[in-house]
Amino acid sequence: MAININNFFNSKNKDSKMGDFQDLDHLDGVSVSTTSANLYGNHRDDIVLFYFRDGANHASVYTQSKLVSENIKWNLNIKSKKVKCLLVNTRNANALTGKNGFKGLKIISDNLSEQLTTKQKIDEEKPEKIKPSEILFGCTGTIGEAFPTDKIKFCIPDLINKIKYTQNKYIWMKAAMGIMTTDLKPKLAMEECRIGSKVVKIYGIAKGSGMIYPNMATTLGYIFTDADISSKILKQLLKKNINTTFNAVSCDGDTSTNDMVSIFATGKAKNSEVKNINDNRLIEFNKSLHAVLLNLSKRIAADGEGASKFITINTLNCKTENDAKKIGFSIANSPLVKTALAGEDPNWGRIVMAVGKAKVKISLNKLNINIGPYKIIENGKISPNYKESEVSEYMKSLEIKICVQIGTGKKEFEAYTMDLTKKYIEINADYRS
């Protein structure tokens, strides 16, 4: 898997450019370990454990697909105020596996809870019994294949033996790589902020490359913070910020059976109590959480299957945000637009087509379309300054911006996508081989 490892080793700046790696170091209350269950047959890490030795408040948003994986069903049944761990496997979605898939999670959770309880007895002055109902699961990979219960169960002792209570960037990198499927690059992000007088950290990892069209989120995203924030407020913050981050991404127009984005708060920062989402002490945290989610979302779009370009689509001056969203995704999901971008062809008529088919009221004499800095459509007509040669040169860029102004209001939406290349077909034609 092609990763810019030099950037990872040498990164000193948390505000890294896309493609660089941020330095995720120790986050109190979270332990991370990885191992291989040999699900891919090449001994790469494919199982990741996040262990919260003192528990963590939590919140998740899940796929809106009507066909969901067994791990999503399991997680939706978890009512515990705090969770003790999250176990993630790749290569197998545990979707359309029926009773056997759900039973597999029960077997693994029983075994994992027993072994983590034993570890508590060894490591803690006041050990707690860890219950299966305090364990969450993340699964990703091929739909419809039998869940590899025995293989995952077999590697649990190794996962637990590798638990360390102090983390570093290498361990976080292993975790980000351990949840990858067809991704070419691991996805990590971090921010620091204050709640009152206390500095808190927000770390995030994600995976996502194909089968990505949001209806809450996309693929897998896991956020960790040492802030002391209740599960109720975490849920509100996550739902508030998902719309303009993970919900603003579309790689191929397909929504997965397994999509989930979760946030876990260990409380180790010991900030003063936050009683509601409107508390002024949350302003900085909310901005930082949004920044982490947006960073991860953009990395997913940039690493879409076969992608050669990262595309930002700004839809402005709409009557409603929903109108702006419809137009943005109409452009983002159009195979004709995406192939033109891949071919570096300034065929702006395809963008006009995509705007028109969104079924949104448009004021033609106020319609403006830009590709990068170049005006294409100005007040409903071809710009007198349009030069195809200039736009052709711009479209050779790795990052392309499209801006559409509708002229019916003041609402806007920013969507993120990638181009559609021959590589996308090759990857998905051979996905299971």
The domain defined by 310-429 folds into Ubiquitin-like (UB roll) (3.10.20)
Q: Which of 218, 219, 257, 312 is catalytic?
A: 218
What pLDDT sits at residue 91? 93
Closest among 292, 290, 210, 261 to 86, alpha carbons compared: 261
| CATH number attached to the domain at 5-302 | 3.60.70.12
Q: Are 392 and 371 in contact (CB under 8 A)?
A: no
What pLDDT sits at residue 253? 67
Global confidence as pTM: 0.87
Closest among 325, 333, 372 to 354, alpha carbons compared: 333
- How many whole angstroms from its chain centre is CA 290? 12
Q: What does the DSSP 8-state code read for residue 396?
A: T
CATH 3.60.70.12 domain span(s) along the chain: 5-302
What pLDDT sits at residue 22? 81
Which two three-digit tokens encode residue 385? 């300054």
Closest among 103, 104, 101, 127 to 116, alpha carbons compared: 127
Which two three-digit tokens encode residue 270? 């010991």
CATH 3.10.20.340 domain span(s) along the chain: 310-429
Which two three-digit tokens encode residue 271? 């900030």
What pLDDT sits at residue 178? 96
What pLDDT sits at residue 16? 39
Q: Does 97 participate in catalysis according to the annotation?
A: no
What pLDDT sits at residue 9? 37
Full pLDDT tens readout for the chain, 433 residues: 333 334 333 433 334 334 567 889 999 999 999 999 999 999 999 999 999 999 999 999 998 788 899 999 999 999 999 999 999 999 999 999 999 999 999 999 999 999 999 999 999 999 999 999 999 999 998 889 999 999 999 999 999 999 999 999 999 999 999 999 888 889 999 999 999 999 999 999 999 865 556 553 446 999 999 999 999 999 999 999 998 998 888 876 666 678 899 999 999 999 999 999 999 999 999 999 999 999 999 998 888 777 899 999 999 999 999 999 999 999 999 999 999 999 999 999 999 999 999 999 998 999 999 999 999 999 999 999 999 999 999 999 999 999 999 999 999 999 999 998 888 777 677 656 6
**CA–CA separation, 190 and 212 (whole Å):** 23
Determine the residue type at 398. Answer: L
What pLDDT sits at residue 66? 83
Closest among 221, 67, 203 to 144, alpha carbons compared: 67
CA-CA distances (angstroms) from residue 93 to 97, 156, 179, 218, 278? 9, 19, 12, 14, 37
